[in-house]
Amino acid sequence: MLDRADFEYGVAAEVCPGVRRVIARNPSKFTYHGTGTYIVGDGPVAVVDPGPALDQHRDALANALEGHDVAAILVTHCHADHSPLAEWLKSETGAPTYAFGPHAATTESWDLGSLPDEFGVVPDDQVDDDGGLDIDEPEGMPKMEESTDLGFVPDVEVRTGDEVTFGTGDVSTVVRATHTPGHTSNHTCFSASVGSAPTGTAPVLFPGDHVMGWSTTVVSPPDGDMAAYIDSLRRVAEMEHSVALPTHGPPITDPSGFISGLVEHRLDRERQVLGAIERGLVTIPDMVTELYAAVRVALHRPAAFSVLGHLVKLVDEERVTTHDGGKARLDATYSLA
């Protein structure tokens, strides 16, 4: 875990050779202590996920980048805690932005239904235990985890295997893109080989929200796709990286092992969903209440969207069916096929 004592908001701190991190002060039950923006390179630098539109974070990045030539702005996806400052940084530095593309218009949209209004809501007179994380959302903080930066359009669209190279000689950095749909359809991970890293060192992985260092990733239909997410996890697990630096949470020192564990966790959750249906828990609120009993109630609504993601996959695979024979929905009832 990343203890609050391990960092200072707004300060650029080295996390591994050639990589510094600035954490935005946007803590929440979705962003952990906040969004980590990474500055990569020893001469010219790249910035990974410039972060939310907060003046304090913008000013911290300006201070951290003073005297540096920004060669590239890399965006893993365009949720509103990741991409909004990209346009400002581009205007300040002239550096191009790189990403898979803008947030996609969902090609196959359907009515997801709704959850009961009271589901996952903590009464005002009850304390919402944060599990000891000591995370307090500042008053007036926008709910960035639920919003998307629809205005973001990259200057350069990248696909798996595309590279961005900047610097020369011992201070050169090579960044390779890997498209990793699942959390969002346009999500991309970046792998960077930094000049100052010891010879023979495997690249550093910047997984955005594909892999988090403190919690599992929400995979929410219709843009989120659980089948694609599991496939993407497997693809990245097969790659060699020295460390993974997620946007939220601490560095991961065994990326392949950690990500393989995430695949097993998702498959185990899938088995739990099937088992719950077999036991007669045929609605998503009932499934979440049992399967996430150890998770604080305030997280039950996003957990419901992850369960919906599993059910979309299972219905598509014809292992589960809805009682009306239609698409998986938040308010559908389910049975084993």
Give residue-wise pLDDT tens across range 148-205: 888 999 999 999 999 999 987 777 899 999 999 999 999 999 999 988 777 778 999 9
Q: Which residues of the chain have pLDDT under 50?
A: 107, 127-146
pLDDT at 110: 76
What does the alpha-carbon distance between residue 19 and residue 315 come to, in Å, rounded to a whole number? 43
Each residue of 127-148: pLDDT tens digit? 444 443 444 433 333 333 448 8
Rounded Cα–Cα distance for residues 282 and 299 (Å): 20
* β-bridge partners, 25: none
* 3-state DSSP assignment of residue 235: helix
The residue count for the chain: 337
Per the structure block, which two tokens stand in for 34? 């906040």
Res 131: pLDDT = 40
- According to DSSP, the residues that pair with 252 across neighbouring strands are 244
pLDDT number for residue 104 = 79
CA–CA separation, 49 and 82 (whole Å): 5
